Chain A
């Protein structure tokens, strides 16, 4: 039990997927201009990331490894993720239209979100068992959501500030992301 708690804390903060492992930066900068879209994206990613973590773990353990076709890992993972996203989209559209209206436009974008593929590859590399894989992917997803929502808050404030012209938009966003990353860097001392 203790190691699971340690794993989740380190996955949320110390190895934060956005700010420390540099995964999933495109949506991070793309949708963080408004708090609403950031929350929508964060929820969609949490949802898909956990499912993708579990599914790719199953595919890897019960299909790729027994048949010794691990060189197909990249193709297999991306197909699992793409079809999962498609499936989630269709499922939400049919059964939970309210949630679909909220997440709808973000779902197709998730297929090319490096964070989802990245977590699948990290789980595979660390060779976790099922429980650890589940906990780690949940924690990574929470870390992603946390960083994205915090960053959106910062970015809404910067709209009110006078930023020099060449630095506007993405450039200042990246510098601020660096500052936030510095804050998360402090968690490294904890581990």
Chain B
């Protein structure tokens, strides 16, 4: 039991790290990685929702009828998204404003529903918790990596602190929409090169 929980946790960090291995939940990945700050906060919020929804779905897995399970999962997820939204509004208002509509959009992030359906609705609470935490941290790391690359090249800053000298001309392409697609594509390519292991 303990061993399988550890496995579930670590696979989210590398072997099945979202969104590079599991190509799910791309919309927030593209949209919030303009800057490191929004990327990290989005990752934390998603992790919170993922862990909570995994635990609740796993606890209720014997109560939820098969036919309406997707609707039930969505209600659970939406509840935690609202909780996360209100918490962020209270404690990190400036980031909340920057994230805009992508905060409530966590509810349709395919990763969360995907984990609820594929794992939490079948396994016990401990395993589901480990899986949610692992996937969430993996997702946060991916967002952080992509956001760092985009912010450093596209804006010449890291966490809004300039890293290059004054003469640096920012490559604005990277923080606009086209750069988001291209950089994510290249990241996927690098992950494929590195192999699964």
Contacts and interface: CB of A to CB of B under 8 A. Distances in A.
Interface of A: 19-26, 29, 71-75, 77-79, 82, 108, 111-114, 116-118, 121-122, 125, 165-168, 170-175, 177-179, 181-182, 184-185
B101 A179 contact: no
Contact of A178 (B25, B31, B180): B180
B86 A71 contact: yes
B16 interface: no
Contacts of B1: none
Contact of B27 (A26, A74, A75, A185): A26
A165 B176 CA distance: 27
A79 B72 CA distance: 10
Interface on chain A toward B: helix, strand, loop, or mixed SS? helix
A114 B27 contact: yes
B178 A182 contact: yes
Interface residues of B, number: 41
18 contacts: A23-B27, A26-B25, A72-B82, A74-B81, A75-B75, A78-B74, A78-B75, A82-B71, A114-B27, A117-B104, A121-B105, A166-B190, A167-B185, A168-B192, A174-B182, A177-B181, A178-B182, A182-B178
B70 interface: yes
A78 B70 CA distance: 12
A174 B27 contact: no
Interface stretch (B40-48, B106-114, B130-138, B149-157): B106-114
B4 to A, nearest CB: 28
B189 A166 contact: yes
Top 7 A-B residue pairs of the complex, sorted by shortest distance between their CB atoms = A174-B185, A178-B181, A178-B182, A166-B192, A175-B185, A171-B188, A22-B30
Given A26-B110, A174-B181, 5 more contacts: A21-B31, A23-B31, A75-B75, A79-B75, A178-B180
Contacts of B75: 75, 78-79
Contacts of A185: 176-178
Interface string B59-96: 00000000000110011001101100110000000000
Contacts of A20: 177
Most chain A CB within 10 A, of B82, B178, B190, is at: B178
Contacts of B119: none
Most chain B CB within 10 A, of A24, A121, A172, is at: A121
A23 B141 CA distance: 22
Contacts of B186: 171, 175
A111 B192 CA distance: 30
A21 B102 CA distance: 10
B74 A25 contact: no
Contacts of B107: 74, 78, 117
A25 B185 contact: no
B171 to A, nearest CB: 14
B5 interface: no
Contacts of A181: 177-178, 180-181
Contact of B78 (A74, A118, A173): A74
Given A172-B185, A178-B185, A114 B23 contact: no
Contacts of B24: 26
B182 A22 contact: no
B193 interface: yes
Most chain A CB within 10 A, of B81, B105, B189, is at: B189
